[in-house]
Amino acid sequence: MTTPARHVGISLGMIDSLSDGLGEFSTQICEHVARIAPAWREQHGVRFHLHMPARWHGRFGDQVGYLATSKLQGYWHWQGNWQHRRRFDVWHGLNQLGRIIPPLGTRRSLLTIHDLNPVYHDSEPQARKALDKLRRRLRRFDEVTTLTHHVEGDIRRHLGWTGPISVIPNGARDLNTHAQDAVPGIVPGRYLLHLSRMAASKNPQSLVDMAALWPQQALVLAGPRTGDSDRLAAQVRERGLSNVTVVQEVSDAQKTWLYAHCQAFVFPSLTEGFGLPPLEAMHFGKPVFLSRLTSLPEVGGTHAGYFDSFEPQAMRRTIETETPRLLREGLAIRAHAAQFRWDRAAEAYLAIYQRLLGTTVSATPR
């Protein structure tokens, strides 16, 4: 007797990039799912379908199906496949952004909430509006996952969610063996590094202000070209800060080179659901300096230095005081970063799918 096929949908929603934090998370989960998809289909008749913008269809191979996202899917109770009227046994929304809810007829559903950053950096009316929107969306989901216990507390406190929450930390890639490409004009081993999209919530302004009072210390701010990075680069030019370099449109190979050759990594972010760049720097055994805000202390643990103040001289003192200790702990820092593995994170999500399906799948291929 043929076992009826069961369907798991995994939705990237309306994200527009695979190169930022949400994109990295989505890519890692989808790549792992694509690897195990043949075994799940053969053993249990489970078929995976990736819901993403049409331009990315095929990116994860032919062992998974693809569904196209549309903004209109946020405005009605849509069905996953209009032609075949497919019903999903499990639907996983990979992020909390947008309005898209599980398709009509979905049996069990799961939403990953990465952060509630509007609570920390939006005005009160804007934050209330964002939370109300997310509460409405949450009514369509059975379970929630998140990345840290800090965000778990935020979800309980600010959204009033009383349902199940699973905390599944992200992985962080070890880039030590990846290709490197030197960034012209940067002297290896002589600079502090900050890597982000340079939005105000990442607090790069505090680093620029510190560099202005520490002219003998080089600072590199790297990330994609955005309006924020353009404004920061213009400010650096206007202030004549020759010790500050803003590197825009940094490639993966350049990013790896910057991690490998920095003196320390500085990340005074004001709001983080997790924080991948600090862990990527830790894989190189680098001293890492973080704010004490939101999820960062949970991720950095005792293996990072922390800014107790964003006053420029206080930040400099923290770096100068803590760097010797962190340099001595290079091996422990690498070991700490190695605990955060993408295969472990992906397997935790698969275990939830198994539970929701009522299925036990034998060892999945690595």
The three-state secondary structure class of 302 is helix
**Taking the model in full, what pTM does it have?**
0.91
Residue 98 confidence (pLDDT): 85
pLDDT tens per residue across span 132-171: 999 999 999 999 999 999 999 999 999 999 999 999 999 9
Residue 176 has pLDDT above 50, yes or no: yes
Q: Do domains 6-171+341-357 and 191-338 have the same CATH topology?
A: yes
Mean predicted confidence (pLDDT) in 358-366: 56
309, burial (CB in 10 Å: exposed 0-12, middle 13-18, buried 19+): exposed
Residue 121 confidence (pLDDT): 86
Residue 63 has pLDDT above 90, yes or no: yes
Residue 99 confidence (pLDDT): 85
Q: Smallest Cα–Cα separation from 19: which of 224, 194, 163, 161?
A: 224
Mean predicted confidence (pLDDT) in 291-296: 97
The three-state secondary structure class of 202 is helix
Which class would CATH give 191-338? alpha beta
* Direct distance between the N- and C-terminal alpha carbons of the chain, in angstroms, rounded to an integer: 30
Q: What are phi and psi of 239, to 5 degrees?
A: -85, -5
**The tokens of 99 are what?**
């309005």
Residue 80 confidence (pLDDT): 54
Mean predicted confidence (pLDDT) in 315-339: 98
Contact 49, 130 (CB under 8 A): no
167-186 residues labelled b (16+ CB within 10 A) or e (exposed): ebbbbbbbbeeeebeebeeb
Residue 366 has pLDDT above 50, yes or no: no
Domain borders along the chain are: 6-171+341-357, 191-338
Mean pLDDT taken over the chain: 93
Q: With respect to CATH, is domain 6-171+341-357 assigned 1.10.760.10?
A: no
